[in-house]
Each structure stands twice: as C-alpha cells, then as structure tokens.
Amino acid sequence: MVTELLEKECDVNQALQAALDEAETTAPQCTGQDTEEEDIPQPAGTAGTTFSIQVAMGLVSMVKKHQVYQTILRTVKDLAMCSGMSWELPWSQIPAAEKAKVFQIACEQHPFLKRFHNYWATKEIIKQYFKNKQGHHYQNGWLDVPKKYSHLANNSHKHSTSGSRVKKAKVILVAKKHKKRVEKLGRKRANTISDSQGDEGDGSNPEEAMIVDHDKEDGGDDD
C-alpha cells in the first residue's frame, strides 16, 4: 500500500526537487546554504505556538517555496494515512515504530526532510494534521474527547473570542495610526484650504489612508 504510493509520487518528487533546487539558489539563506547533510535542530517550544513549521523549514516568502511546502504536506499526510497510523490516538500513544516507518518513507520521497534533526519537521507536520483531523471529529461528535482532556472544554469558555493577542495589538496599532493620520490630515487640510479648495481625491478616507501605510511603520506592537 505504501509502496504504491511511493511509485505514484516518484514523479511528483522529481518536480519538487527541481523546484527546491531553484528555490535554494534564489535565496540560499532561507533554506540553508548547505547540502543535504545539514542537520537543522528543532526550534524550542511547540509548533504553531512558539514557531511556525513552514517558517522553520525555510519554505516561505516565495511562491515556489510555498508550493514545495504544500507538496511535502500532501505527501506526508498521505503517507501517514496509508501507513495505518491511528490518528484518533494522542501522538504519544502512537507506536514509535509506526512513526519511524513513516518518517523514513517521507525522507525517501523528499530528501529535503533529512535536514531536520530526528525528522522533527515531518513529525510536526503529522502532529498538526492529526490534531486538526481529531478536532473536526470531536467537533462533529464523531469522536469522544478523552476524559483526561475534558478540562480543555472548560478552557474554551474562558478563551477570548475577540481574536489573538497579535491581532488585538494590530487593531490597537491601526487605530493609533488612524488617529494620527486624521490629525495630520486635519492640520494639512487646514493649511491647503487656505491655498485652494480643489483636491478631492486626496485620501481623506481614513481606510484608504490605512491601506497606504499599513506596513511601513509597525514598530512597536509588543504585548
């Protein structure tokens, strides 16, 4: 079953390698200016919380790199399912042998994955995939949440639904900028009105103004 997949994805892999090579030559500092022998350690913390898998793998910032990442995702996901891994179980309860088997095949499919120490990138991708899969099943009632984690349902009630801290910070920042700009425009207009009264399409719409400068000066959005 897995071997069939191996053959099926062989041509995909070739295309991927070509894309990867090209991506690396364009921006070597992102993927590491190295060979396949590089051993990239896993970032501290949890994937998705303290670091992004895609960023840590250096597969962002270019369309091609993003495509490479998407292809790897697809492959790893297919392998995980074909291998018969029990996605319903918590990660820690899945037999290490099964994990190792999938890591191995994934690396054969995409040698790029060998760079990541102890296959951590492959591991995190599978974990995230299973987590989302479980989540959907829990949500739809197709799967029971282990009693061990029943407290997390209570957590969700405390969970702020008004968005992430980053998002909140951004909203505050945008509001500040908006206020500043409105004040600035007010002063400017006061000056220009005395000169002439033309000047309709001047970006007096605050939203327009926000779009114009939304990325230039976001220095202090810390929390």
Partner DNA sequence: ACATTGTGAATCACCTACTT
Partner DNA sequence: AAGTAGGTGATTCACAATGT
C-beta of 160 vs 191, nearer to DNA: 160
**Candidates 84-92, 95-103, 113-121, 197-205; binding stretch for DNA (CB under 7 A):** 84-92
- Annotate 147-197 with DSSP letters as a single string: GGGHHHHHHHHHS-SS--HHHHHHHHHHHHHHHHHHHHHHHHHHHHHHH-S
Contact stretch for DNA (CB under 7 A) within 103-111, 137-145, 177-185, 212-220 = 137-145
Residue 41: both structure tokens together: 């350690």
Tokens of 156: 């969700």
Element (H or E) spanning 14, and its range? helix 10-26
Residues 150-179 that bind DNA (CB under 7 A): 151-156, 158-161, 163-168
Tell me how long the chain is. Answer: 223
35 lies in the site for DNA, by CB under 7 A: no
Q: Which residue from 6, 30, 73, 174 is in contact with DNA, where contact means CB under 7 A? A: 73
Residue 97, φ and ψ in degrees, nearest 5: -60, -40
Stretch that binds DNA, among 6-14, 126-134, 186-194, 211-219 (CB under 7 A): 126-134
Q: How many CA atoms lie within 13 A of 109 on its CB side?
A: 27
**Cβ neighbours around 124 below 10 Å, total:** 22
207: part of which helix (H) or strand (E)? helix 206-213
Our CB check for DNA shows the closer of 138 and 206 to be 138
Which residue from 6, 98, 101, 133 is in contact with DNA, where contact means CB under 7 A?
133
Provide the binding-site residues for DNA, judged by CB under 7 A.
44-50, 52-55, 69, 73, 77, 90-93, 125, 127-129, 131-136, 138-139, 145-146, 148-149, 151-156, 158-161, 163-168
